[in-house]
Structure 1
Amino acid sequence: MPPDLLVHLVEPATWRAALSDGVLRPPSLESVGFVHLSPPDQVHVPAQALFPGRRDLVLLVVDPARLRDPVRFEPGQPADPAGRLFPHLYGPLPTRAVIAVVPYRPPAPVVLPAPDDALGRALALYTSLPLRRAVGIGDVPGGVAVLDPDLPLSHDNNRLLLTAPVDAATVDAAAEEVGGNAGWPQRAALLAWPDAGAVAGELAARGWRTEELVLMARRGDRPVRGSGTRAEVVDQREVHDLWARSWRQGLAFLGDRLDPAVAQLVGRERLNDRVVAVTDVVVRDAGRVVAAGQLRIDGATAAVESVLTDPAARGRGYGDAVLTRILELAADAGCDLVVLEAAADDWPRHWYARRGFEAVGSTWSADRPA
């Protein structure tokens, strides 16, 4: 772990509220005048003292260089071992100083990315967000299973989320056990460790459908090409019709399950704004939403999601307008890194590359029928 990082242990709902305010102001700021921080190897002390037995918390990974107010290393509680000092931030914690948000589920090891580690920060976002929005979480070899019985047809909400290497047989067995007990209509997993492609290939040989997802990143302070003035921020409900049309086209093979699947995919999107700050951006043509995209902000890291244009409106620069507005909003929020996922074998990854995004790594999505 980078030695110059600090962490703060917090409940996910408290962090979400801080994202709206731009700063985190825990009760200690008023009662004792500072925010309790910890070096990574000391976070177990406040965890045991303040949240004994809790496994639903998150660690805010703080870059001290981004803090405006002084940090002083001072003694903790009298019960702490003699000579141990803790960093105290004498002012609120700016959300833009938080470079990653990582689940804290002891005794599972914690991996903290450095500020300049674009891949590590992207993985932190894409593997922690599903845990924070999940209805249920269970430990499995190599990671966790996330569950949401209200959205059984959404793979993103009901799958194994694996961040440590395991073999294909282990993935298959864990998915069968969890999915069978939970009544999943499919078995699904995300393989999110380096060089997971070999295991993805083994799963394909076992009848799984696999897809490589390229993680791409762009510095938030890079100049934005073009103008986002044609794009506007809207209530998410205004995007539902465009989403539904797009998913209906892509999921027509589901047959009788198409209608409930589309309803669940549209409905699940509201869950993201409960754990990260979500902004939906659209372009209209003759009053109708014909292009849209979503910005998700998690401290200093932002993600671009669901950029799409109605097929009849393509070729008019609407997608560019949406992406430009999203990048402008991310920069305004103080995000120094913007990330996204793109299918390795599809054209959008090249579209994003021409707009300044670079591939930094990949994950593998895998699923099969129950």
Structure 2
Amino acid sequence: MTIPPDAPPADPELRRIRAFLAAFTRRQAERTVDFPGGFAALDDTFALSHGNNHVLVDGTPDPEALPAVVDGALSHLAHRSVYIPDAAVAEACAGPLTEAGYRRSIVLLMRHGGPVPERGGAREVDLPALRGPVAESWRRFLPDAGADVVHALVERRAARRRGADDVRFLASHDAYGEVASWADLYVDPATGVAQIEDLVTAAAHLGQGHAGVVLDTALRLSYAAGCTTVFLSALADDWPRHWYERRGFAPVGEVHCFERF
């Protein structure tokens, strides 16, 4: 299948978001391997983390050749992950990737369009404060994962410091000072783009409003830094997307995620 000429998306906000994601991915990586139509972002320190070791297709590769290209770039890993933010490119590559054993999921890119929240309440924390709660959450989400996988998923947060000039870890605390909910905030005042990522609430604190506190704080900080494009990502078929919609976010694009284990 031939991919149509690569035309920029009509929505300028989506162009800015895609450019931010590509730049963050490159900056976060320990090393990158370029190929026609994209690149592999690699981090040997966190080899078990798919989010740190994957292929990002940000151009127009040869669809038939893509599975072999991915195998070459990720040959030292047990998994294969390919992220494609352009729907036309994803459709062109879907056949060859499916035939090669990949499964596809869709992540929505959602931009904030509501008013700036009047209140926040979360505060910035460092990685040590998050290690326990994040490890607990991953054991909840991935009950069959080994200790080495959980360790990598917790510690990989350190690599995110490289992804943008301003990277903050935000947390809401309970009355006893325990971390109840947390998220990352990546801010790029130069381009006016900010991303809120990995918003999670500890099991013991679900339904208590802590996620809203973290989200509101991240939004306030983003707009205070001069960012006019504030976005996050959410699985298209999971309930959080509807929660985000109620808080002023709307889908503006998609990332097609192809994975093989």
Equivalent runs, 1:1-370 vs 2, <5 Å: 117-166=12-61, 168-180=63-75, 183-199=76-92, 201-202=94-95, 203-219=97-113, 222-225=114-117, 227-229=119-121, 231-254=122-145, 258-276=146-164, 277-285=166-174, 286-299=176-189, 300-369=192-261
Q: How far apart in 2 are the matches of 1:225 and 1:157?
A: 32
Residue 204 of structure 1: how far off its partner (Å): 3.5
Q: How far apart in 2 are the matches of 1:275 and 1:148?
A: 13
What amino acid sits opposite 1:119 in the alignment? Answer: L
Q: Give identity over the alignment, percent.
A: 33
Structure with greater Cα Rg = 1
Greater relative contact order structure (CA < 8 Å, 6+ sep)? 2
Report the 3-state secondary structure (helix = DSSP H, G, I; strand = E; otherwise coil) of the residue aligned with 1:118: helix
What amino acid sits opposite 1:242 in the alignment? Answer: P
Query: What TM-score comes out, normalization by structure 2 length?
Result: 0.88
What amino acid sits opposite 2:224 in the alignment? Answer: D
What amino acid sits opposite 1:117 in the alignment? Answer: P
Q: How far apart in 2 are the matches of 1:259 and 1:240?
A: 13
Residue 199 of structure 1: how far off its partner (Å): 4.3
Q: Cα 1:360–1:297, aligned 2, differ >3 Å: closer, same or farther?
A: same
Residue 165 of structure 1: how far off its partner (Å): 3.1
Residue 124 of structure 1: how far off its partner (Å): 0.8
Q: How far apart in 1 are the matches of 2:40 and 2:211?
A: 34
Residue-pair matches, total: 251
Q: How far apart in 2 are the matches of 1:262 and 1:234?
A: 20
Residue 159 of structure 1: how far off its partner (Å): 1.4
Q: How far apart in 1 are the matches of 2:193 and 2:99?
A: 36
Q: Following TM superposition, where does structure 1 have runs of at least 4 consecutive aligned residues deviating by more than 6 angstroms? A: 111-114
Q: How far apart in 2 are the matches of 1:337 and 1:356?
A: 13
Residue 139 of structure 1: how far off its partner (Å): 1.8
Residue 297 of structure 1: how far off its partner (Å): 0.4
Report the 3-state secondary structure (helix = DSSP H, G, I; strand = E; otherwise coil) of the residue aligned with 2:194: strand
Report the 3-state secondary structure (helix = DSSP H, G, I; strand = E; otherwise coil) of the residue aligned with 1:121: helix
Q: In 2, are the aligned partners of 1:292 and 1:322 still within 8 Å (CA)?
A: yes
Q: How far apart in 2 are the matches of 1:200 and 1:315?
A: 40
Structure 1 residue runs of 5 or longer lacking an equivalent are 1-110
Q: How far apart in 2 are the matches of 1:113 and 1:167?
A: 20
Residue 305 of structure 1: how far off its partner (Å): 0.7
Structure 2 residue runs of 5 or longer lacking an equivalent are 1-6
What amino acid sits opposite 1:206 in the alignment? Answer: A
Residue 201 of structure 1: how far off its partner (Å): 4.2
Query: What TM-score comes out, normalization by structure 1 length?
Result: 0.63
Q: How far apart in 2 are the matches of 1:160 and 1:262?
A: 22
